[in-house]
Amino acid sequence: MSTSSPIDWTLCLIADSDAIGSRNIPEVIEQAVAGGVTLVQLRAKTWSAREFVETGRVLSRLLKKRKIPLIINDRLDVALVCQAPGVHIGQEDIPLTDVRRIMGAEGIIGVSVSTEQEAREAEKNGASYVGAGPVFATLSKDTAIPALGTEGLLEIRRAVKIPVLAVGGINAQNAAAVMETGVAGIAVISALLGRSDVRQAAWELRQAIVQGPKIKS
């Protein structure tokens, strides 16, 4: 369940099954990785457990060869069966302390947060990283949580020492401003999956990230 290599948090693709649609999922993931994606989170709200496990196993093998962690969204059971190195949970999911106990000390556990308090709580309870957002308004996820903006994101980043992934409405045009807050990286759905050429989209976004402005302290 663990990964011994240092994690590159720069660019996380949230591989949402609805956003991928009828496209071949492993092929889409390979294109994204070729373009510069460094982390993959598999999210499938409508799949059966069997479908989730079967696809997770394929992606786990594919990404392990490339030394890129696969994070399973919401489903701890699927992550365990697929031997994925990580799982990402929300505020209403299984308590983080229980997930950490089951996954062990080396398992990668991400937690969705939208406030400084949630971020601090996640860090205290053993999260490996937090996904902070939404930074900007987004149609990729149905949420009533107001957008943080870069200032709200900066406050969360300053509140914890674990890596922060910014999520929500981020694209190649605003990625540099997001990275200026000092987050470890960004996580996206539509910025990549909304494009026909996923590899090119990933490359453009990666360039926007690495060429961003000076980080705020």
- Could you report the average pLDDT of every consecutive run of 10 residues in the chain (217 residues)? 75 98 97 98 96 97 96 97 97 97 96 98 98 88 83 98 98 96 97 97 95 64
Instruction: Give the number of other CB atoms < 10 A from CB of residue 13.
Output: 29
Catalytic-role residue among 60, 75, 112, 157: 112
- Which one of 60, 114, 140, 141 is the catalytic residue? 141
Q: Contact 59/85 with Cβ under 8 angstroms?
A: no
Phi, psi of 109 (to 5 degrees): -125, 120
Q: Is the pTM of this model over 0.75?
A: yes
Q: Does the annotation mark 217 as catalytic?
A: no
Residue position matching structure tokens 């949970």: 89
- Evaluate whether 132 touches 113 at the Cβ level (below 8 Å): yes
CATH 3.20.20.70 applies to domain 11-210: yes
Which residue is catalytic, options 43, 157, 199, 206? 43
- Distance, CA of 160 to CA of 123 (rounded, Å): 7
Cβ atoms of residues 154 and 188 within 8 Å = no
Dihedral angle, C-alpha 53, 5, 27, 212, nearest 10 °: 130
- Quick check: is 214 catalytic? no
**Is 172 in a helix, a strand, or coil?**
coil
